[in-house]
Structure 1
Amino acid sequence: MAILYFLMGLLFAYLAYTSVQDTIWNATTILLAAVAALGFGVGYRYLRMHLKKE
């Protein structure tokens, strides 16, 4: 499950990178980067929970 969230984080980070036009301070780029950060955060929490369980 953690790998899925890390992959989603990578996907949204890539989409944020490709959505940059003149500056990174537009709503689309910031929203995509925020979703990517949440994906990485959830993936990290799942990975930490899995390692703590074992």
Structure 2
Amino acid sequence: MRRSPLFSGLIYMILGVLFTYFAIQNVNNQGWGFFSYLLVLLATLDFGSGLRMVNLHFKIKKNLKK
């Protein structure tokens, strides 16, 4: 089953929000440690991938209109 880049991008964004929430909770409870940095890294990668996928969706949509 093929998913649209928009759907995949939204899933990545949701994961980015989730990892950000977990990172904030972890920092509040235990301070900055390895796991906190790992969660922030994962959130950053997910947000970047999500933005890239949403951008790809709009580029494909624009090219299909031509």
Q: What is the TM-score when the length of structure 1 is the normalising length?
A: 0.90
**How many residue pairs are counted as aligned between the two chains?**
53
1:22 CA drift (Å): 5.4
**Aligned equivalent of 2:31:** 23
Please list every run of at least 4 consecutive aligned residues from structure 1 whose deviation after the TM superposition is greater than 2 angstroms. 21-24
Measured in 2, the distance between the counterparts of 1:47 and 1:22 equals 34
Which ranges in structure 2 are unaligned for 5 or more consecutive residues? 1-7, 62-66
More helix by share: 2
CA-based RMSD: 1.1
**Aligned equivalent of 1:14:** 21
**Structure showing greater Rg:** 2
Q: What is the TM-score when the length of structure 2 is the normalising length?
A: 0.75
The one-letter amino acid paired with 1:9 is: G
In structure 1, the residue corresponding to 2:31 is in which secondary structure?
coil
> What is the percent sequence identity of the aligned residues?
32
Measured in 2, the distance between the counterparts of 1:3 and 1:40 equals 9
Which ranges in structure 1 are unaligned for 5 or more consecutive residues? none
